[in-house]
Amino acid sequence: MNYKEILGGIAVVIAFISYVPYIRDIFNNKTKPHAFSWLVYSVMTGIAFFGQIVGGGGAGAWVNGLTAIVCFVIFIFGLLKGRANIVFIDWISLLGAVVALIFWFITKGPLLSVILVTIIDALGFFPTFRKSFHKPHEETLITYFLSALKYVFALFALDTFSVVTALFPLYLVFANSAFFIMALIRKRQLSIK
């Protein structure tokens, strides 16, 4: 076992650990996932996983495989126990993700594909970001912090470091970190009022 496989394994363990409190909080009615976001996360992370495998990502891709599966499970929970407040902008985000997904299917180049997958995921993140700005107490923040951390390990575990293999995990480090910070600040702001 080489050090990249160890780092890939650490990323997978962090991923697994990160979702335990999130799923627990769903069942305790503390976390209310936005189903649209989790559906997009599942599909895009699955596509990114296969793209990384084809692009030579090696152990750095493992975390996306597990994450895609868990995101789909959370999507199902989101339908059953999540936030029902779906507004027009959420539908626009989902439609944008579907349109970008169609473009992804049409493209043949891996670079354009990874760029589109990243854009689609960002569009899918918007409903959760919007919901959590107003109701940050409905999210389990440790999951987002650990998700950023798992992708740091995944980046160092990549066998081939290129735009194709690294753009999506780099975006996820940024997106999860930004979400964590925003929600933490909003929780504090709302608790002062």
pLDDT in tens, 5-53: 999 999 999 999 999 999 999 999 888 888 878 888 888 888 888 888 8
pLDDT at 123: 84
pLDDT at 176: 96
Q: Measured between alpha carbons, how far is 27 from 20 in angstroms, rounded to an integer?
A: 11
Q: Measured between alpha carbons, how far is 92 from 46 in angstroms, rounded to an integer?
A: 22
pLDDT at 40: 82
Q: Measured between alpha carbons, how far is 21 from 43 in angstroms, rounded to an integer?
A: 22
pLDDT at 171: 97
Q: Is the pLDDT of residue 119 over 90?
A: no
100: burial class by Cβ within 10 Å (0-12, 13-18, 19+)?
buried
**What would the mean pLDDT of 164-169 be, rounded to a whole number?**
92
Question: Is 150:11 a contact under the CB 8 Å cutoff?
Answer: yes
Cα 43 → chain centroid:
10
pLDDT at 39: 84
Read off φ and ψ for residue 31, nearest 5 degrees: -110, 135
pLDDT at 71: 94
Read off φ and ψ for residue 85, nearest 5 degrees: -80, 80
Average pLDDT, the chain: 88
Backbone CA torsion sign across 67, 71, 21, 128: positive
Tokens of 12: 């997978």
Q: Is the pLDDT of residue 84 over 60?
A: no
> 63 pLDDT band (50/70/90 cuts)?
very high
Q: Measured between alpha carbons, how far is 4 from 179 in angstroms, rounded to an integer?
A: 28
Q: Is the pLDDT of residue 1 over 90?
A: no
Backbone CA torsion sign across 82, 144, 159, 107: positive
**What would the mean pLDDT of 143-158 be, rounded to a whole number?**
96
The size of the chain, in residues, is 193
Q: Reduce the secondary structure of 54-119 to three states and give it as a string.
A: HCCCHHHHHHHHHHHHHHHHHHHHHHHHCCCCCCHHHHHHHHHHHHHHHHHHHCCCHHHHHHHHHH
> 97 pLDDT band (50/70/90 cuts)?
low
Tokens of 189: 């702001």
